[in-house]
Amino acid sequence: MQYMYVQFGFIALCFLIAAYYKKPWAALFTMLADFFLVIKQSNEIGVTIFIAAHACYIIRFGGSRKLLPFCFFCIFPAGLLMWVGSNFIDLPPRISPYLIFVSVVYKQFFIMSLYTAISGYLKNRFQKPNGRLIVAGMLLFAACDVCVLIYNVSSGNLSQTAFKFIWVFYAPSQLLLALSARNYGNRYPIKK
């Protein structure tokens, strides 16, 4: 039980690091999402707030808001999945139709934030240390999300093993993303 407060405290520390480097928004929404996921254990609210965190990453990594509308293309299919899930499938008690909907929307935002991170790195949009921290952080974040998916859709030893690895990937991902907010000035210029 006390472990969840340590987990949340670590995410709060990551928020403080990002705020110190003047890029607090994604870390703030991540901290709020984790409050609901870890402390309140309200998956629906937590995943919904995580969408805002990834919207902030898309803007930060992509350099503009132009890519955000593409994230909303999945709302109709997500709504259809929610309707099918609520009418034709016996869902486990921990998975509500709304959770299916918001998870599909979240995945679209996550995929776009991962895309903007990797494409920004490949196009030398970031300073050298920042780009490496961003890509490493987002890849660890993706590994964490795979573990969350396995935990929620499987059972037995596979589910428990995936659960144990969630924070193994998640904690360093958040620290790297927070540290990537640092401005290195001219020491590591962007390549032209």
In a domain, 118, yes or no: yes
Q: Model's pTM, two decimal places?
A: 0.88
pLDDT in tens, 21-75: 999 999 999 999 999 999 999 999 999 999 999 999 999 999 888 877 777 776 7
Q: What integer is the mean pLDDT of 78-98?
A: 72
Place of tokens 């499987």: 154
Residue 122 has pLDDT above 80, yes or no: yes
In a domain, 135, yes or no: yes
In a domain, 42, yes or no: yes
In a domain, 57, yes or no: yes
In a domain, 189, yes or no: no
Which structural domain range is residue 163 located in? 2-179
How many C-beta neighbours within 10 Å does residue 161 have?
A: 13
Q: Are 15 and 31 in contact (CB under 8 A)?
A: yes
Number of domains the chain is built from: 1
In a domain, 190, yes or no: no
Q: What is the distance between the alpha carbons of residues 192 and 189, in angstroms, rounded to a whole number? A: 9
